[in-house]
Amino acid sequence: MTSNKAVAVYGAYGHTGRFVVSELRRRGWTPVLSGRDPAKLEAFAAEHPGLESRPASVGDPASLDAALKGAAAIINCAGPFASTAAPLIEAALRARIPYLDVAAEVEANIDTFTLFADRAREAGMVVVHAMAFFGGLGDLLATAAMGDWTSADDISIAYGLNSWKPTAGTLVAGQVSRQRRDGRRVVFAGGKIAYVTGTAPAAEWTFPAPLGKQPVIAEFTMADTVTISRHIHTPEIHSYMTVAAVKDLTDPDHSAPVASDDRGRSSQTFVVEVLARRAGEERRAIAKGRDIYAFTAPLVVEALARVVAGEVRTAGVLTAGEAFDARDFLASLSPEHLSVEIR
């Protein structure tokens, strides 16, 4: 375990980055602020006297090396990750430090595993990818629900968001993904990611209280499908999103989430339910919390702490469920950030 408490945060001034910086400071780490926009970085640094700021561009490897110099690890909060993940992982490889990100872009998630799984493993480096509400939480819940099962007939993940209010970064990342998909949708069937055309089907899902029965959009594939399928053997992964949240994504009023408490969290609430089935038996894991962007901060910072402490024994590109003891990790977030029930 290193005594170095400096952590580079790329995209520190973004919506999620601000939560990550605050969580790092709360837990005794020293964020090194970095990002692409010098003016935004300078303004954000003024809010945190004593913290060092280091502007860096993903197109300038030397500036990235300078941003990571002396850091124990790097957390990448800057989307679209299709543009930022690879250059920052390359910089982390050069610096020989762990890399974590909060990527929720399906294609960027796949790219990271494809491009860096072998290189990171050969370098003895830990890359924990998609350590966010989308990607990390669902993977931890699925892994916890599976328990001693090594495979499942199918896994369903239902996202019960009472609203979304996507950030500017989420909207830009979505545009990048849509361009790459060329009008198609992502599904997971027959044990693999596939692209299909046509409208996603409507359905209903009965969530635990307080949501109850809700109209949902089926085949709403998010990063969790990529992370879960990396290490849990199942031929089918089904995803569902509440209609209310989907409507927010297409609302012409793209106002950002509004803080409603002294920690900067919005009033948005979520219930995520994961159901694994095998041979007629069902296992479930349910998580409830507040503000998907704010929640990402304790999730990724807890992961950072465990990585830096040497608790991850395997090098390479890892998902949350691969890297950590899922039940222990989820328990560490309760009850301050999350309530969890495993059936």
Residue 1 falls inside a structural domain = no
Same domain, 122 and 196: no
Same domain, 111 and 48: yes
Residue 54's Cβ-count burial label (10 Å; 0-12, 13-18, 19+) is buried
Residue 269 falls inside a structural domain = yes
- Indicate the number of domains in the chain: 2
Same domain, 182 and 246: yes
Tens place of pLDDT for every residue, the chain, 343 residues? Answer: 578 999 999 999 999 999 999 999 999 999 999 999 999 999 999 999 999 999 999 999 999 999 999 999 999 999 999 999 999 999 999 999 999 999 999 999 999 999 999 999 999 999 999 999 999 999 999 999 999 999 999 999 999 999 999 999 999 999 999 999 999 999 999 999 999 999 999 999 999 988 999 999 999 999 999 999 999 999 999 999 999 999 998 888 878 899 999 999 999 999 999 999 999 999 999 999 999 999 999 999 999 999 999 999 899 999 999 999 999 999 999 899 999 999 9
Domain hosting residue 43, numbered range:
6-132+296-327
Residue 268 falls inside a structural domain = yes
3-state helix, strand, coil in the chain (%, to 5): 40, 25, 35
State residue 253's pLDDT score.
81
State residue 251's pLDDT score.
85
Query: 142 and 276 in contact (C-beta within 8 Å)?
Result: yes
Same domain, 257 and 166: yes
Same domain, 195 and 313: no
Residue 27 falls inside a structural domain = yes
Report which of 321, 281, 271, 283 is spatially closest to residue 128, judged by C-alpha positions.
321
- C-alpha span between 330 and 233 (Å, rounded): 22
Same domain, 68 and 166: no
Q: Are strands 30-35 and 53-55 parallel, antiparallel or unpaired?
A: parallel
State residue 1's pLDDT score.
58
Residue 167 falls inside a structural domain = yes
State residue 250's pLDDT score.
84
| CATH number where 213 lies | 3.30.360.10
